[in-house]
Amino acid sequence: MMRTLTGMLLILMAGNIALHYAEAQTGNVPAPARSGFNFELTYGSCRNELSTAKGSLSFSNGGRGGTRTIDLKLTSEEMALVGTGINSLDFWNDQRYPSIFSVKPAIPRGQGYSAVSPGRMYVLAVTAGARMKTLTWNDNIPNVYYEPAYRLKLLIEDIVLMIESKAEYKAVPHPVCYTL
């Protein structure tokens, strides 16, 4: 039963990623590297950090100080999905995704906008062969559609879904924190 549920979840995530990135798929998008592709994602108020190179997830203990690290590995299928998502984002394009990424809303003259403080902080560090890039995003402007931000957030949500679907993650008590 558990294997069936895991398989169904992978199919749903694969469909989700394929749907989100289908418009960006072209014949010249390279497949993720089989070797040398790893990433670290830091997200949430507990500063959860997934490291695929280390095969671990670290998170703080809420306001109690310290961190806790558990073994957590993504499957090769999940890694391929993330790699495809990263490539289809055009993640390596520094004009589209600079190292300090932000959303600048178009504001009509005389009108303002709202910002959330603190914003949701994400750090995505990717290594693919000889290429390395770290992107930091303080997502503090709600309700503004900016296509690169929307697509990046969908990828991050898919990765978090992968993490939180793992038995290793579910087996550990978590402090109350928001994630996305």
Write the CATH number for 162: 3.30.1560
Q: What is the pLDDT of residue 110?
A: 62
On whether residue 129 sits in a domain, the answer given is yes
Q: How confident is the model at residue 93 (pLDDT cuts 50, 70, 90)?
A: very high
On whether residue 110 sits in a domain, the answer given is no
pTM: 0.74
On whether residue 84 sits in a domain, the answer given is yes
User: Half-sphere exposure of 156 toward its Cβ, with a 13 Å CA cutoff?
Assistant: 26
- pLDDT of 19 higher than 50: no
Phi-psi region of 44 (alpha: psi -120 to 50; beta: other; left: phi over 0): left
β-bridge pairing 131-139 and 100-101: parallel
- Alpha carbons 61 and 107: distance in angstroms, whole number: 39
Q: What is the side-by-side strand order in the sheet with 131-139? A: 67-71, 56-60, 48-51, 37-43, 120-128, 131-139, 100-101
Tens digit of pLDDT for each residue in 151-167? 999 999 999 999 999 99
Q: How many domains does the chain have?
A: 1
63 or 82, which is more confident? 82
On whether residue 178 sits in a domain, the answer given is no
Please compute the mean of the pLDDT values over residues 109-119 and round it to a whole number. Answer: 60
- pLDDT of 149 higher than 70: yes
- pLDDT of 62 higher than 90: no
Q: What is the pLDDT of residue 52?
A: 97
CA angle in degrees (0–180, nearest 5) for 132-136-139: 150
What secondary structure letter does DSSP report for 69? E
Q: In this predicted structure, which of 30-39, 55-64, 75-84, 147-156 has the lowest mean pLDDT?
A: 30-39
- pLDDT of 17 higher than 50: no
- Alpha carbons 20 and 168: distance in angstroms, whole number: 27
- Could you list the residue range(s) of the whole structural domain that residue 125 is in? 2-24+32-102+117-170
Q: What is the pLDDT of residue 47?
A: 83
Cite the beta strand spans of the chain per DSSP E.
Answer: 37-43, 48-51, 56-60, 67-71, 100-101, 120-128, 131-139
C-beta separation of 101 from 135 below 8 A: yes
